[in-house]
Amino acid sequence: MKHQVWYLDAVTALNQMRAAREVGIRTFALWRLGSEDRSLWKIWDNPTEPNAEQKIKVVPSGEDVDREGSGEILVIQRQPSAGEREVTLDPDTNLIVSQKMTVLPQPYEIREYGWQEKKVALTFDDGPDPTYTPKILDILKEKNATATFFLIGIQMQKFPGLAERIYREGNAIGNHTFTHPDISDVSQWYMKRVELQLTEKLFASKLGVKPLYFRPPYSIDQEPDIADQVRPLEFVQNEGYITVGSKIDPNDWKKGQSTEENCG
């Protein structure tokens, strides 16, 4: 079935602005910022410039993210790439009369894995904590269950015995950074040398293991919707980590609220 779709891309906007200039309209507003065809900015300031239509032949990928699958394990499978278009200009009206997308722009693609019916994987963040971690470990041991603990390096440095108990009792260890920053606000050098590698070295010295899993602090980028949120995870993935999200969160970490209150 064929469909005809109308939308305001850079080609349509260029035609509109050129026509508006002919009747004396000089300035324009864009609705809405963030969802625009980004090639529009190449002609926005001077739409009547000769051969301006040539500037919009390359179509940037934009900020959208394609998320496929279901689960908490996030794998970046495709980087964004620009598209290309061909345009035909009417020399009499100086308007574009047709366009053809020869290459479609592609956003980041993230594959989400791990979902299984009637199965759950337990994870805990921000420890080890001298008050709550022993209680959690006691319950896990009593129920013959294991979990993944995403540990903060500076906390492990304070309580290495608890980290050793976590690992000794069969639980998995994940990297939750060294100081628990918002990873979108730190440089790649700092992220690599301090938040990732320093934590790695601490785990290696205390437990003799290198963590495979990573979880961003504050649940940042657990469900990335724009490219800027994906880039920190891409860096972490290139360092050899598997990023694990936390969309299903009981919010028991909120002050004054219990797990039962948030899950009920």
Q: Say if CB 61 and CB 107 are below 8 A apart.
A: yes
- Which sequence spans correspond to the domains of the chain? 10-64+80-108, 123-263
Q: What is the model's pLDDT at position 4?
A: 67
Q: What pLDDT, on the 0 to 100 scale, is given for residue 220?
A: 58
- Token digits of residue 101: 């997308």
What is the C-alpha separation between 176 and 211, in angstroms, rounded? 10
Residue type, 139: I
DSSP H or E run through 78 = strand 73-78
161, pLDDT greater than 90: yes
The upper half-sphere exposure of residue 120, i.e. CA atoms within 13 Å in the direction of its Cβ, equals 7
Whole-angstrom distance, CA of residue 246 vs CA of residue 248: 5
- Are 156 and 129 contacting, i.e. CB atoms less than 8 angstroms apart? no
Give yes or no for residue 78 having a pLDDT over 70. Answer: yes
| Buried/exposed code over 143-157 (b: 16+ C-beta within 10 A; e: otherwise) | eeeebbbbbbbebbe
Please return the burial class of 68, using the count of CB atoms within 10 Å of its CB with bins 0-12, 13-18 and 19+.
Answer: exposed
Element (H, E) at 86: strand 83-90
pTM of the model: 0.80
234 closest CA partner among 242, 129, 122, 8: 242
We find that the CATH architecture of domain 123-263 is Alpha-Beta Barrel (3.20)
Q: Which pLDDT band holds residue 64 (cuts at 50, 70, 90)?
A: confident
How confident is the prediction for the chain on average, in pLDDT?
90
**Helix (H) or strand (E) segment spanning residue 149:** strand 148-151
Q: Is the pLDDT of residue 223 over 90?
A: no
Sheet strand arrangement including 172-175: 65-69, 108-113, 73-78, 242-244, 213-214, 172-175, 148-151, 123-127
